[in-house]
Structure 1
């Protein structure tokens, strides 16, 4: 079934030269080569004015350094800019100005802000849950308060069943079964989608559901069009009835927008069931293909009230990326999931690639600073800033058992 579905999406294979010319990497590479040639030419043509340029470079560097010190920017970003400007004062300052003044990114941030405000109107903590926390668990109440008062407003839920999958291999059968049961809509947002066994099985179901009249939407990071998917993959999905969008597609246009990637992994089915975690849609994540040895990533299945936040996260990014009007988001967020019996609490939350609010890092810092017994971390990407390093070492010095597992 998946092989037939995949073949249906494949167009007639173009010639070798046509493939090269149609490859999105070609115009992008030519664009950057032209940009580099322009910079080299500009530098060589100004050599006779070298002494004056050195003086102005020093003055420009000093002014820019003071400007950076007063910016509300994290220390790592400031340090990166300082190094660039110290080495290339004129080019670095121009690049900094272009980065801060990028109108494309500003417009997207404004759209994100508007969509976030709209989504937050449909997200709130149940009063009974808030009262229970205030009387029983002050630490959890403080964390819940922080998340609910963050820019995107992430409430805490109690009526949600949670299933933990230690491997992508365990998650896939459950996901396929839930997709088959979908009756109204399927929303999928993933950092990586790669053609293969996993995506073929999912795609076959999505095509079938789209033909049956369901609202099927797929969103992936635009870098996929440079790596795992063809540049026309969105149009190919449209042809089989699936709505599709790419976040930050790569084009031969100079913009800092390309620094922002969409790393989320979210599936929402009928607003009642959702999947999230570290598993992308590619064969290595379910060990159907060996890329770096046995792949270990985890996933969660939510069934109940907490799905509302994941639905809001998807619709917010879908609205920012596409041209959907506000009534589209209202239509889906006005409908709330059915409650399920559960004794635990769930707080779904997400960072946005278009804001400077480090919600996830603040949650990790809270957990590290309030830990009493142990903190065990397993991650494929251990990239720590100074704050996290200090929090981990401080926890260890307090007698907390801090352990980290990472790939070799």
Structure 2
């Protein structure tokens, strides 16, 4: 059986590693031009024991993960937005018994990439459409005359705006009502009071329909993301020039953090000295699922896009990869009927797992930001 995976994120790369380790023929196609195309992949990730870490264990990569991860990153604090006083904080994990240690996204991606067969990840491949010919599939890529053919299974791990999702359903992501504005403070610009307040892990401060999330990164820097209730299209229509990061930071703080926020939190946006990235948060409807299609399935955000307010996105993607690989291994990959059954065996519990977590993240969104009108 020959498998094509669309997308080289954590879920797609985990699946590729699991399949290749069990001698399946597997190729990965990624739209980024190279591994270095996006040096900032986002804030660090906490991998859970029963999902992300279990996938790495079965991939034979858990020891390498443990060497790269930061158990101290589990620390979590909640602060008062107006005073910056700590209202709640977790205890540090017991030595040798981390539950969900943090790892930088780039380190995780490189760990997975380095584990794959040379030449099995193809960069600069933007999927255009999939053509079914008999019992196999042909992949067509944007702006490329050459296609890739004869795949028995095509797995969409291509994120929020998955091209492969459209093959299975006309459903598209809907706006959640929340927009995130992200930046990062490099280690050399982290002020001493910020260093002390954030500590080794994460910090959240809430005010009304706004929430500031700060997180320590592996290099000592601090990421900061301001989440707030906005109308759809706000990023383009708010009048802030996001291309000029310096003026954008000032405008964001003047308009949305001038009252009710302690100076230290305003400084986290104003003093970052880095780019600022606005991102409208989209989601698939809670409980969405598709009708089965032979030889095609999805995982991760392509299968169950949700907002980050339950902290499970990457763990779900890696768990999807693990469960799909297990289903394929049980059926042996030796015939059309068994492949169809293997996909169905994977999708049924995945839909239930996705609905449970999507409902949780939606509940948390409403609690923190109110309902979207």
The two structures share one fold, judged by TM-score above 0.5:
no
Structure with the larger helix share: 1
- Give the TM-score normalised by structure 1: 0.21
Which is greater in Rg? 1
Structure with the larger strand share: 2
- Give the TM-score normalised by structure 2: 0.23
